[in-house]
Chain A
């Protein structure tokens, strides 16, 4: 059987001592940078690029890929422990993961994130092996109108990220959209809301935004209480999830994997959207939706699995079409080219050992990460018992170093402070950060695809209903919006009647 031969070839390549070693190096580095706030995989991979010149192409790709998915594991650690999501996708994990940590269940949250990621990674590797060609065609079917409709659906669903009032959630999404407008208009190059500051031309730095909004505002509100107290966190109750917790998580893990595997294929934000979508789905399916936002383990298991599955399948457009789905992939394509390999469909036939070796290494890397992360859970949980008056300056210090070193730009630190204050005000107003963040991430994508679709259609909005894919997504969005508003309207009417 050809497939089996290919998988064996892949394992043979990935299992050499050298490749195993570099896979481990990549996973370790990835976990480390994932844990460090501010430093992302894109920068790390770019900086390590020159080191790979001297390595064998498959070895260098295996190491770089290890950094990428290692960072996905590590990023959720800080989100759960100290409410610091380093990447858009782990912002969802922070919602329930951080609440779990505060209730003394950091161990369960971290472990279920690692286990979920592992299961998702394993299944997604199989998806990459079996479904690469049809999924890459799906990526090509997504033109500007389809992306626009998908993002509209994503925005509407992000209302469910909030627990409180629908109105406040909508307001937060719109506020996020407005902040997303900052920067040069990509269609004319004209600066918008940059106040003459060139470093705002590319928009507000996401890491500064998320660190301020989540991490710093949380510190501010914690400091309202007596800072000398040991820690707000309850005593840890065991490091591993209990059996009932595992049972509750298995469904979300599998559903998250499914969502992540499909959406990860879409270049430009598919993997990020999938973790939000997984959270929404779990909240809708759950018998206890009121637990979401208060530390529901499903709210960690689903998005984490989706995120990791998406990270894996986002390799599909790169491997089969040579199209990079995100910044990390773009640099990996550079790494391949410098080795004299042209990424694209021909890689599978001209360099089968490289192609299958990389895929096999993904699964091996996932095993390594699981083995690496489960023992680390104990250490992380111990860190939480550090007195808060040592902990919060350390969080601020490391965040500041990480954020400054990425762009060498002092303004980013000012932004962290500003969004920290804004986040604090929002906490006081009972407005939740997740829909705000979602609007901020999706706003620029929404505008870009709306305007692009309109340019191609010469200003005819019928383009959004012309393709069944786009029309279908818009229809789902409309139904979701109606379902969301109906109960609110009904309650309002009941109130009116009782009065």
Chain B
């Protein structure tokens, strides 16, 4: 064996080696993909995941199976995904509270930023400020004045300690310099009876969940928390418009893979998911749940996670909301 053939052999091996990686990604997927939903069945993350899977399986030519691993605010399922092999066969759908986890629970066994490879944002959900119909206020300004007139006497309800509704409300109270008591419930709907009867004075809740009660005149919707007005409630201003320009809070759902998943696989998944999200029937289904489709690139999704982790970690530390 002379030097030349050895060199060409090495070169060939190099070509095969280099070609091998994209070949693997090109073949992807060759078996069933597990999509972890770290919440109980029936929530917005779960329904969104199932809506996407309906179209993702045929697009990838392999079954995508949704598996619920609920518990501890999504941290059990996320921990499982963070430790899974980064081969594209274990994926996860999370909601916005994913970025709150580490700040609220420093004992968390994974890093919401470093342990995951975001694939795409999928949808955004608006929360709104609702008050009982009996409360003598009709705008956000009047509500702020009313709360200021009763410092520390009024209570706001939330979907639970550390839920995004809780953290968003605390952010608003901090921005507007208000003092209220926090009364958490097991989920937002559990708070509705006390909110309707006026025992609780205010809550941040998803528009989809309060829409019926607002239409029926049992609750008043004073403002929405996101950057833009909601198409269904064009006459309701945003919090930012009402004198707090830096305030912009909304919930979202995102598709993630474990950190270290090959870029080619992430890009392939991103391409398929973005295509699914542009379908009219998917848009309609998500709209009926009060969500707006927001497809994004993996980089944009990563930037969203990083910005929000930074913002809410600062807020949670400053307000002392962590355990």
Residues of A within 8 A of B (CB): 42-43, 45-47, 49-50, 53, 139-144, 184-191, 196, 198-199, 201-202, 267-268, 321-324, 327, 330-331, 333-334, 337-340, 342-346, 407-409, 448, 452, 455-456, 458
Contact = CB atoms under 8 A, between A and B. Distances in A.
B50 interface: yes
Given A143-B193, A346-B215, A337 B289 contact: yes
A448 B186 CA distance: 9
A198 B76 contact: yes
Contact of A202 (B71, B181, B190, B199): B71
Interface in B36-60: 40-42, 46-47, 50-51, 54
A442 B14 CA distance: 67
Given A46-B46, A198-B72, A346-B212, A455 B285 contact: no
A198 B79 contact: yes
A333 B44 CA distance: 12
B208 interface: yes
B104 interface: yes
B71 A201 contact: yes
Interface in B9-64: 40-42, 46-47, 50-51, 54
Interface string B291-323: 000000000000000000000000000000001
B189 A323 contact: yes
B42 A42 contact: yes
Given A186-B161, A189-B104, A323-B192, 11 more contacts: A42-B41, A46-B68, A49-B47, A49-B50, A142-B193, A189-B162, A199-B72, A322-B213, A323-B193, A334-B289, A346-B215
B85 interface: no
Contact of B199 (A198, A323, A331, A456): A456
Nearest to B67: A408
Contacts of A323: 189, 192-193
B230 to A, nearest CB: 14
A49 B47 CA distance: 8
B213 A321 contact: yes
A411 to B, nearest CB: 10
B151 interface: no
B245 interface: no
Contact of B161 (A139, A189, A331, A340): A189
B40 A338 contact: no
A344 B212 contact: yes
B153 A458 contact: yes
B181 to A, nearest CB: 6
Interface size class of B (residues with CB under 8 A): 35 or more
Nearest to B288: A340
Interface of B: 40-42, 46-47, 50-51, 54, 67-73, 75-76, 79, 104-105, 107, 109, 153, 155, 160-162, 181, 183-187, 189-190, 192-194, 196-197, 199-200, 208, 211-213, 215-216, 218, 285, 288-290, 323
A334 B47 contact: yes
A434 B306 CA distance: 50
Contact of B208 (A53, A190, A331, A337): A337
A330 B79 contact: no
A65 B246 CA distance: 45
A324 B153 CA distance: 29
Q: Which 3 interchain pairs have the tightest Cβ spacing?
A: A46-B41, A344-B212, A201-B72
Contact of B288 (A184, A186, A337, A343): A337
A142 to B, nearest CB: 7
A343 B212 contact: yes
Contacts of B290: 337
Contact of B211 (A267, A342, A455): A342
A338 B189 contact: no
A445 to B, nearest CB: 10
A323 B107 CA distance: 35
Contacts of B160: 186
B50 to A, nearest CB: 5
Contact of B155 (A189, A338, A456): A456
A168 to B, nearest CB: 31
Nearest to A267: B193
A407 B69 contact: yes
B29 to A, nearest CB: 21
Given A342-B212, A342-B215, A407-B69, A47 B41 contact: yes
Nearest to B186: A186
A327 B213 contact: no
5 contacts: A42-B41, A187-B161, A327-B42, A331-B41, A345-B212
A144 B50 contact: no
Given A188-B161, A201-B72, A330 B189 contact: yes
A185 B72 CA distance: 11
Contacts of B51: 50
A407 B72 contact: no
Given A331-B41, A344-B213, A345-B216, A455 B183 contact: yes
A248 to B, nearest CB: 39
Nearest to A331: B42
Contact of B194 (A49, A143, A334): A143
B42 A49 contact: yes
A332 B308 CA distance: 32
A182 B212 CA distance: 35
A196 B109 CA distance: 11
A345 B41 CA distance: 26
A140 B194 CA distance: 7
A322 B212 contact: yes
B184 A187 contact: yes
A343 B212 CA distance: 6
Contacts of B197: 140-141, 143
A297 to B, nearest CB: 37
Contacts of B218: 321
Contacts of B186: 186, 448
B41 A43 contact: yes
